[in-house]
Amino acid sequence: MLPPTHIPVLLKETMEALAVQPGGRYIDCTLGAGGHAAAILEHSSPGGQLLGIDADPEAIKIARARLKAYSGSTLLINDNFANLQAICLKYDFFPVHSILFDLGLSSLQLNGNGRGFSFQHDAPLDMRLSPSQEVTAADIINTSPEAELAHLIRKYGEEGYSRQIAHRIVNQRPIKTTLQLAQTIERAIGRRRGRIHPATKTFQALRIAVNHELEHLEAALKQAINLLGFEGRLVLISYHSLEDRIVKQFMRQESMGCICPPGTPTCICGHTVSLRLINKRVITPSLVEVQLNPRSRSAKLRAAERIINQDEQYMTVEELGFSTEVKANGWRRPALLKKLRRTFLAA
Ligand SMILES: C[S@@+](CC[C@H](N)C(=O)[O-])C[C@H]1O[C@@H](n2cnc3c(N)ncnc32)[C@H](O)[C@@H]1O
């Protein structure tokens, strides 16, 4: 087995939030090195099933080796989670008990594997999660008009010095490597500001833009709800405020009924509640975890549970023909999931 080189963040808290149970069916939308996936498979044994997705073919390779012992219960797909629903339909993998998104990059991608995600290691400015994507960070840096570049750095990096950085970049083009870009940014806005390197925000902005991270997250969240069975859990770990804002707003909106603007006399939105928040407050790592794994320091975990609307009402457990023995063991979910599946297919 390969030595794990990415430490899964908030592992215990994630397992609790996912409510992993033996025989359950789970989706890990961000498989990475397979750390969370291995724990899900262990906790859902016997009989658990996992669909693991990652846009990065390298991650799939590494996770496949790590999860070898569970090869009979795992389906690992190299694709973008923006295609979540299509993947589940294609492989007949729904409804599920829980879905996990552990967003961002794994340490394997950040630790200088020549992909250009980090300014700590010199590499070509690539930053694509998948080699099938066309646009690289170098394309954006070397071809965008200055104003567009400044806008992108401000929007996705929340960088206050975006105009100065964009101006310097345009004057220094072509910029081909991570170190060249980091030095250009340093020259534009000076050396370290506090604890973060001056290039941090620009690198984040480029990575988000190259991989359409925020758009893909929004698309996947919408699809995830319909793949969850009754009481199925949706768990997200985010690492920066732009991701977390999307997750927070999505969960808040889906946990409300009407979302008409205040003062609207009668409801015109027709929005119905589909999630119940599990934790009122966001879950963050303990000081001990941050010390052991500094990468976890900005992690925020949010979890919600699927609730079924009036028009999606299910038959009672008795109507579904459960034996009392099954009920006593708390095994009502799989049958309710079957029922949901019929509803889903009929829709
Ligand atoms: C933080 S890592 C996950 C680590 C994993 N939980 C573990 O314990 O090993 C995030 C992973 O999500 C993948 N990823 C990011 N955005 C994606 C997307 N839109 N579609 C599919 N995979 C994505 C990255 O390639 C990366 O491998």
Work out which ligand 1 atom sits closest to the CA atom of 63: 9
Q: CB burial class (10 A; 0-12, 13-18, 19+) of residue 41?
A: buried
- Mean pLDDT across the stretch 304-331? 49
Reported as a pLDDT band with limits 50, 70 and 90, residue 317 is very low
Q: Are strands 275-277 and 228-238 parallel, antiparallel or unpaired?
A: unpaired
Pocket around ligand 1 at a 6 A CB cut-off: 6, 8, 30, 32-36, 53-56, 59, 80-82, 102, 104-106, 129, 216
Q: Are strands 228-238 and 300-306 parallel, antiparallel or unpaired?
A: antiparallel
Reported as a pLDDT band with limits 50, 70 and 90, residue 260 is confident
Whether 44 contacts 258, CB under 8 Å: no
> Measured in angstroms, how far is the CA atom of residue 104 from the centroid of ligand 1?
6
pTM of the model: 0.88
Give nearest CA residue, ligand 1 atom 7. Answer: 35
List pLDDT tens digits, range 132-186: 999 999 999 999 999 999 999 999 999 999 999 999 999 999 999 999 999 999 9
Backbone angles phi, psi at 230, to 5 degrees: -55, 130
DSSP codes joined into one string, 161-230: THHHHHHHHHHH----BHHHHHHHHHHHH-S-BTTB-TTHHHHHHHHHHHHTHHHHHHHHHHHHHHHEEE
How many Cα neighbours within 13 Å face the side chain of 277? 17
Q: How far is the C-alpha of 19 from the C-alpha of 233, rounded, in Å?
A: 7
Give the C-alpha distances (Å, rounded to integers) separating 296 from 1, 15, 69, 106, 145.
Answer: 24, 16, 27, 11, 35
Reported as a pLDDT band with limits 50, 70 and 90, residue 268 is confident
List pLDDT tens digits, range 18-56: 999 999 999 999 999 999 999 999 999 999 999 999 999
The whole-angstrom distance between residue 232's C-alpha and the CA centroid of its chain comes to 17
> Measured in angstroms, how far is the CA atom of residue 14 from the centroid of ligand 1?
15
First vs last C-alpha separation in the chain: 44
> Measured in angstroms, how far is the CA atom of residue 325 from the centroid of ligand 1?
39
- Mean pLDDT across the stretch 304-322? 56
Work out which ligand 1 atom sits closest to the CA atom of 213: 19
Reported as a pLDDT band with limits 50, 70 and 90, residue 312 is low
Give nearest CA residue, ligand 1 atom 24. Answer: 105
Work out which ligand 1 atom sits closest to the CA atom of 35: 8
Query: Which residues, 6 or more positions from 183, have their beta carbon under 8 angstroms from its beta carbon?
Result: none
Q: How far is the C-alpha of 329 from the C-alpha of 256, rounded, in Å?
A: 32
Q: How far is the C-alpha of 338 from the C-alpha of 96, rounded, in Å?
A: 10
Work out which ligand 1 atom sits closest to the CA atom of 108: 27
